[in-house]
């Protein structure tokens, strides 16, 4: 399904920047830092990028994969709806090239701590990505 229809399905109007952001993240697994998005979308106002990201997150089309060194990485959602956000997959960041990707693997981590209630668990893995392994 193309970006325009994806937007319509979530009750969002089809606008240039929304299509542009979805297409920028279009590869699927790869997450992009905000700075990269801003460069790719330099024809749009910064505020619009900001509000568009909020809208797409709200509708379950994208999610913030991780936040590190004051940089937020965004990626497409794979199976979220407007009402149900489901991001309990693993995020991986390469220490060499700083790339971030969503690893859609199911990983159950049972954690039980006395006196507190745990609702969700986020896992971030770090290491070396396949691309960087090749160039070694």
Partner DNA sequence: ATCTTTTATGCAACATTGTTGCGTTTATGT
Partner DNA sequence: ACATAAACGCAACAATGTTGCATAAAAGAT
Rounded distance, CA 25 to CA 132, Å?
21
By a kind-dependent CB cut-off of 5 to 8 A, residue 75 interacts, out of Mn ion, Zn ion, DNA, none, with Mn ion
Q: Which does 27 bind (CB under 5 to 8 A by kind): its own copies, DNA, Zn ion, none?
A: none
- String of b and e for 7-18 (b: at least 16 CB within 10 Å)? beebebeeeebb
Minimum distance, C-beta of residue 77 to DNA, in the bound complex (Å): 18
The CA–CA distances, whole Å, from 81 to 22, 28, 69, 120 equal 15, 16, 29, 18
Q: Which does 16 bind (CB under 5 to 8 A by kind): its own copies, DNA, Zn ion, none?
A: DNA
In whole angstroms, what separates CA 118 from the centre of its chain? Answer: 23
- The reply to whether 23 sits near DNA by the rule CB under 7 A is no
State the binding string over 89-128 for its own copies (x if CB under 8 A, else -).
-x-x-xx-------x-x-x-x-x-x-xxxxxxxxxxxxxx
Q: Does 65 bind Mn ion (CB under 5 A)?
A: yes
Count of CB atoms situated within 10 Å of the CB of 132? 15
Binding-site partner at residue 127 among its own copies, Zn ion, DNA, none, CB < 5 to 8 Å by type: its own copies
Bridge-based pairing of strands 100-103 and 71-76 is unpaired
Contact residues toward DNA (CB under 7 A) are 7-8, 12-18, 33-35, 38, 44-48, 50-52, 55, 69-72
């Amino acid at each position: 399904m193309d970006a325009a229809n994806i937007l319509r399905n979530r009750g969002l109007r089809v606008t240039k920047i929304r299509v542009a952001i979805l297409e920028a993240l279009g590869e699927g697994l790869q997450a992009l830092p905000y700075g990269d998005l801003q460069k790719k979308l330099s024809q749009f106002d910064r505020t619009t990028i900001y509000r568009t990201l909020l809208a797409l997150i709200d509708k379950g089309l994208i999610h913030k994969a991780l936040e590190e060194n004051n940089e937020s990485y965004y990626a497409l959602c794979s199976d979220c709806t407007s009402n149900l956000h489901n991001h309990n997959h693993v995020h991986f960041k390469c220490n060499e090239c700083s790339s971030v990707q969503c690893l859609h693997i199911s990983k159950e981590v049972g954690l039980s701590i006395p006196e507190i209630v745990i609702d969700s668990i986020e896992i971030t893995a770090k290491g070396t990505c396949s691309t960087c392994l090749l160039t070694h």
